[in-house]
Structure 1
Amino acid sequence: MSKQTTSEENIRCIAFMVVAMAGFAVEDAVIKKLSYTMPISQVLILIGIGGLLMFGMTALKTRVRLVTDEMVKPWFIIRTMSELASAICFVIAIVYASLSISSAILQATPLAVSLAAALFLKQHVSLGRWLLIGIGFVGVLCVIQPGLDGFKPAALSAVLGVMFLALRDSITRSISVSIHAVSVSFWAFFALFSAGIFTIPFFGKFGVITSGDIGLLAISALAGSGAYFCIVMATRGGDVAVVAPFRYTRLLFALGLAVAFFDEQINPMMIVGSSLIIGSGIIMFVSGGTVRQ
């Protein structure tokens, strides 16, 4: 592969990554907004249905198979279950803690993936990389602020969500490139829908859907569907050390939305924590400390 081709591939994957992060941030903001008028379970179900319809129709139009032999293997089922669990955890954190805190904690996912690789896959991790992982999780503590006035217990749900995402991302690396991005995205939304069904007993009766809610759901479906597709495309090419750091743009989008639409306050401790998480994560990527594709 020529240097020009590699450069073009990196730029393409970076663009997919940034668009995906913007889409996820918008989807998270819509979820928080919808939670003002309906329970979490209803929000998850409706967004899940929207994504299933979009990717289902796309699959029909492009003749992409949604079910293959690969998808009945344990690793794919575990990945889907991890997606389900992480969705529940993060929605709880977004709704009951804050969009900004949840999004900042989410940025620790790459560090958690590296930690999981060291502990469970027996990958060698140097002292320097252990230090980066430790610094990143100190950043998480700064964001959560346990014992301080700004502490919100629901933020711990985001930490649990990071663990499930680390499991999902570790498994995703084993997904055959023969499985189309549309198929992977379809089943991700199936997990979201299933998460909503599972949580019905815990979050009360469904609310009345207004015309405004329909508009928000449409925005969420478009943003979420596009984001899932783009993230799969972004992680299937390019140089991981070059492309992966751009996943941190999600925090920039999320903070902007949190301040603009939810009047959330960003305190100095949170800025310090976010900087530690992002800084250690970027150094980890650039130094090749994560499991490469």
Structure 2
Amino acid sequence: MTAAMAGFAVEDAVIKQLSYSMPISQVLMLIGCGGLLSFGVAAALARLPLLTPEVITPWFVVRTVSELASAILFVIAIVYASLSTSSAILQATPLAVSLAAALFLKQHVSVRQWILIMIGFIGVLCVIQPGLAGFKPAALFAVLGVIFLALRDAITRSISVSIPAITVSFWAFFALFMAGVVTVPFFGDFAPITLQNLGLLLISTVAGTGAYVSVVMATRGGDVAVVAPFRYTRLLFALGLAVILFDEEVNAMMMFGSSLIIGSGIIMMVSGGSRRKQIH
């Protein structure tokens, strides 16, 4: 799980770096193509179907659309706000899933779990810092992205377990590719692909696909209650990359908010309030 989170953090950092020389739409399409090619080849070698009756169900389609929307929103956030802030907000996804399950799926949530959810979202406010000098409006795109990620993860629980992980991952990267397609009118013309950008795209493809495989291995091969808390290591990797590569500042308020998000999320998981398998 730790390796998977490192891979996702590297992928996010590469996306931000590529955005300096390429429009967001082009970056999303190219990374999506890399993932589609990788998992398409893997499916062919394993003789696994990519289009099955389960894939064309309404719930799976909604899941894919949620993946598409979250990709657009989160990438906008890390490009126009900051990698550190966006990554911290992303850690609230498990809490948002629990909230969605309580509000829309009518699942029982104890008083303790409600308190943890509220603490987590107070942490999100501390990270965003509305009204303070460090506030960046683009960070709100990350909050919207969390909503769609929560919808995606909530739907994932109702998807047939007979769908191979490779198939699910293939369609996740298809959503990423389509996210690039639908945003083309908003982010301008494509830019030439330099050798440096090609190298970064290769790194992103290896990191992203490797992360997807690693997280599936972790969630299927170990106790979810033990493995799941390690998903928060993604923030540690993201903060390190943000400071080293992009010279971002991480202030005390952001660290405090991140601690609230992570602490409440881990307690929720350990107490059994958030035992589910999640892919991103």
TM-score between both structures, scaled by the size of structure 1: 0.92
Q: Residues 248-259 of structure 1: matches in 2 within 5 Å?
A: 248-259=232-243
The equivalent position to 1:277 in structure 2, one of 248, 261, 265, is: 261
Q: 1:197 aligns with which of 181, 186, 199?
A: 181
1:142 maps to 2:93: no
Distance 1:278 1:232, change over 3 A: same
Cα offset for 1:237? 4.8
223, 227, 233: which one aligns with 1:243: 227
Q: Which residue of 1 aligns with 2:196?
A: 212
Q: Secondary structure at the match of 1:152?
A: coil
Q: Is the 8 A contact 1:177 1:236 kept in 2?
A: no
Cα distance in 2 for residues equivalent to 1:226 and 1:176? 23
The answer to whether the Cα contact below 8 Å between 2:224 and 2:275 also exists between their aligned partners in 1 is no
Distance 1:73 1:19, change over 3 A: same
Please, which of 14, 28, 44 is the counterpart of residue 30 of structure 1? 14
Q: Supply the AA of the counterpart residue of 1:114.
A: S
Tell me what 1:7 maps to: none
Q: Deviation digits for residues 47-97 of structure 1, max 9, x if unmatched?
A: 000111111111111111111110011111111000000000000000000
Deviation at 1:242, TM superposition (A): 1.3
- Ranges in structure 2 where 5+ consecutive residues have no aligned partner: none
Find the aligned partners of 1:263 and 1:278 in 2 and give their Cα distance: 23
Q: Is the 8 A contact 2:269 2:275 kept in 1?
A: no
Correspondence for 2:166: 182
Question: Please, which of 181, 203, 206 is the counterpart of residue 222 of structure 1?
Answer: 206
Q: Which residue of 2 aligns with 1:233?
A: 217
User: Which residue in the other structure is 1:102 paired with?
Assistant: 86
Cα distance in 1 for partners of 2:247, 2:116 equals: 32
Query: 1:156 is matched with which residue?
Result: 140
Matched residue SS, 1:201: helix
- Answer whether contact 2:63 2:156 (CA < 8 A) is retained: yes
Aligned counterpart, 1:290? 274
Structure 1 unaligned regions, length at least 5: 1-16
Equivalents in 1 of 2:219, 2:157: separation in Å?
9
CA distance in 2: counterparts of 1:153 and 1:232, whole angstroms: 34
Which residue identity is paired with 1:161? G
Taking structure 2 as the reference length, the TM-score comes to: 0.97
Give the counterpart of 2:115 among 131, 155, 159: 131
2:45 aligns with 61
Partners of 2:64 and 2:275 in 1: CA distance:
20
- Which structure 2 residues correspond to residues 80-119 of structure 1 after superposition, within 5 A? 80-119=64-103
Cα-to-partner distance string for 1:193-222 (whole Å, 9 max, x where unaligned): 000000000111111110000000000011
**Aligned residues between the structures:** 277
Q: Deviations over 1:109-130 (max 9, x none)?
A: 0000000010011111111110
Give how far 1:175 is off.
2.5
Larger deviation: 192-201 or 61-70?
Answer: 61-70
Cα distance in 1 for residues equivalent to 2:226 and 2:86 = 25
* Aligned twin of 1:13: none
Query: Does structure 1 conserve the Cα–Cα contact (< 8 Å) formed by 2:55 and 2:61?
Result: yes
CA RMSD of the aligned region, Å? 1.1
Q: Is the 8 A contact 1:142 1:270 kept in 2?
A: yes
- What is the CA-CA distance between 1:254 and the residue it aligns to? 0.4
Cα 1:106–1:275 shift into 2, 3 Å: same
Partner AA of 2:14 in structure 1? V
Counterparts of 1:182 and 1:226 in 2: how far apart (Å)?
12
TM-superposed CA distance for 1:291, in Å, is 4.8
Per-residue deviation, 1:241: 1.8
Confirm or deny: 8 A CA contact 2:95 2:120 kept in the other structure.
Answer: yes
| SS, match of residue 122 in structure 1 | coil
Instruction: Give distance in 1, aligned partners of 2:171 and 2:163.
Output: 11
Moved more, 167-176 or 278-287: 167-176
